Structure 1
């Protein structure tokens, strides 16, 4: 199965130079539809998730029926890129791709897309028998996985798959934490800071007391917590009336996730409940409103699971050594696993992502394509 390196490189550059910042993925979606139509996809479906995400297009699910009597699998990538992402110009130095420096490159996640396309081109042009394949291509991954969250999982026929979306190479992410987001609004009482400060309730100082007793940082091998933003106050001569705080908790352990989330919310609730007006002149008391929402669920795949054994077997057939890791971030794979679709994350070779120093090497994309082909055909050589 000969991979056309230059064709892969050309396609990767075309994808990167087709702008697709989050919520503006339509042009790359149209390009993908054209490419997969030319590859005689059996079905190309676009959902109506844009009504939820605010994107200018929906998620894509592309199906190839295959001819081997093997279980279907899916490969997933996302279309969108982080900013600055407009007017991308790719600079190729040997077999290393970067942007010209004013924008990101877009290898996150177009390196995965390019490998998927080359995989199907190789299968088609050589009439190679393969299992049923689906390509699940989402919008708005970079702004909270909202494309995947809006995708109806019933659109995906395969029960197992692989998200091609991680830095490094020859790496498989088997575990990723769940994330709870915590939005806190602490209400005090405004007053003139010079004339009548005792009439006010300083929301910032109340919040500071709560934050001081909140768990923060790495709490154990499985759990982290962070107070990420704090905003409040109008001017130095006004006792601040309102403070808004954004916090998060991540954990590979659901019980710890819930416990640390409760600890943070309790810190604010107890601080407000035990507040004392030492002057006796305050024109009110503090209050707090807390909103906790699960951003994505835990992802946990054991090495003995079929989805991991398949990629391990494919890598072995290629004499490719894989490493298996626990991740600390979230991806579309968390969402798919939450729907009962066992999904591992495979690294694509991209590095320095979310920066203007982003880069990827052609050989890594070639080797990723080889791995996809091995899983598509279950080759044993």
Structure 2
């Protein structure tokens, strides 16, 4: 099979795999399995005899080792779902060949423009081929660029037995965009010692650090009363909830923070006079920062509640994921080998921290230390999403070099 990374990418993005956070099943949408079945067929055709799709939509496959050295089994992982933020139905990818600079007006909606001012990475793409949408859907480079890169690297390794490598495991997950990507992964069956997610962005960037993340739920029980006879008796839970949200510090919000700063972010508020519910997400790069912000939020709640003596509240914290750096720092060879592979691919490795999470966050704490590698995609979750073909090719080269580095450095 002589398909290029672009051939594969164009084939995958037209398959609608949007996940659904309101669904309790896994995968959250059966259509994610449509891509999974295509990938299994392609992996089998490449000669990966154990390739299969499990009941949860996860794809597993193995490239056998072709060296006598004792090389740790390495996994490459990407997710098949696209984000619920914007439609992924009827994707029509467009290719801007030999990009010569300037803004890119999308073909089906001229109001959608990828502007150089807003997307400065375009300045590094002169002469490259850029894939966009037509402006009516997202593209799905997050994370079908990663899938296409892993598949192309697999094809390269299978076609070139002179490239020495240990066991290479392939994992494609469902529901990463709704925070469930690692929920049903069977690490024992996967059989890898270390992993790498292909779910990054700018070419050359490698990521060993994510936010640590908690979810906070505040449930308020007010005092309901007929409004005509409510004086000095009613305690309206809607007003209590609104007062709590209004007191959240403005300097600890997503819209006012950057870099290594954490934030407190209300994502949902609902209720009626008798009861209300606030849901928040708390993010920081250190666990102590999470605890401090959660303490701050509860102190605001307690202070507000002093004005409503008949009302009560319940404050619940749920662990969502933790900064994978805490795990990766115990296995420095994982990042050292990756940085060397990026250099061998002709790039300068740039260490980057993710203001978010990946499957690698969860997988690292499940026992598979798993940093993140660039894919070349940009402006994820939006109709302005784009990816450079040449950057995808650089990612493929990095994967190939990475398995070679692991084999060379093994005993």
TM-score range normalised by the length of the shorter chain: 0.7 to 0.9
Superposed displacement of residue 195, structure 1: 5.0
For structure 1, the 5+ residue unaligned runs are 51-57, 234-239, 278-284
Pairing 1:271–2:274 present: no
Pairing 1:244–2:277 present: yes
Which residue among 134, 153, 156 is the counterpart of 1:119?
153
* Residue of structure 2 in register with 1:12 after alignment: 9
* Mapped partners of 1:189, 1:176: distance in 2: 42
Pairing 1:292–2:310 present: no
Preserved CA contact (<8 Å) 1:211 1:267: no
* Residue of structure 2 in register with 1:199 after alignment: 233
Which residue among 22, 25, 31 is the counterpart of 2:32?
25
Secondary structure of 1:147's match?
A: coil
Superposed displacement of residue 220, structure 1: 9.4
* Mapped partners of 2:156, 2:239: distance in 1: 63
Secondary structure of 1:104's match?
A: coil
* Mapped partners of 1:220, 1:19: distance in 2: 33
Preserved CA contact (<8 Å) 1:101 1:357: yes
How many residues of Structure 1 are paired with residues of Structure 2 in the alignment?
A: 354
Q: Deviations 1:149-172 (Å, cap 9, x if unpaired)?
A: 222322332221111112222101
* Mapped partners of 2:135, 2:246: distance in 1: 41
* Residue of structure 2 in register with 1:232 after alignment: 271
Preserved CA contact (<8 Å) 1:188 1:287: yes
Pairing 1:134–2:169 present: yes
Distance 1:261 1:276, change over 3 A: closer
* Residue of structure 2 in register with 1:78 after alignment: 79
Preserved CA contact (<8 Å) 1:61 1:135: yes
* Residue of structure 2 in register with 1:90 after alignment: 93
Secondary structure of 2:346's match?
A: coil
* Mapped partners of 2:295, 2:172: distance in 1: 36
* Mapped partners of 1:293, 1:28: distance in 2: 32
Superposed displacement of residue 71, structure 1: 1.8
Which residue among 36, 40, 45 is the counterpart of 1:38?
45
* Mapped partners of 2:383, 2:259: distance in 1: 33
Pairing 1:347–2:347 present: no
Q: Deviations 1:289-322 (Å, cap 9, x if unpaired)?
A: 2221111122113498111111111122233111
Preserved CA contact (<8 Å) 1:47 1:151: no
Which residue among 337, 340, 343 is the counterpart of 1:310?
337
Q: Deviations 1:319-344 (Å, cap 9, x if unpaired)?
A: 31110011110110100111132111
Pairing 1:321–2:348 present: yes
* Mapped partners of 2:298, 2:187: distance in 1: 33
Distance 1:374 1:140, change over 3 A: same
Preserved CA contact (<8 Å) 1:59 1:147: no
Superposed displacement of residue 196, structure 1: 3.1
* Residue of structure 2 in register with 1:169 after alignment: 203
Superposed displacement of residue 105, structure 1: 0.8
* TM-score (normalizing by structure 1): 0.86
Distance 1:373 1:221, change over 3 A: closer
Preserved CA contact (<8 Å) 2:360 2:371: yes
* Residue of structure 2 in register with 1:187 after alignment: 221
Q: Deviations 1:72-93 (Å, cap 9, x if unpaired)?
A: 2111100001240111121112
Taking only aligned residues, the RMSD between alpha carbons, in angstroms, comes to 2.4
* Mapped partners of 1:220, 1:353: distance in 2: 19
Secondary structure of 1:250's match?
A: strand
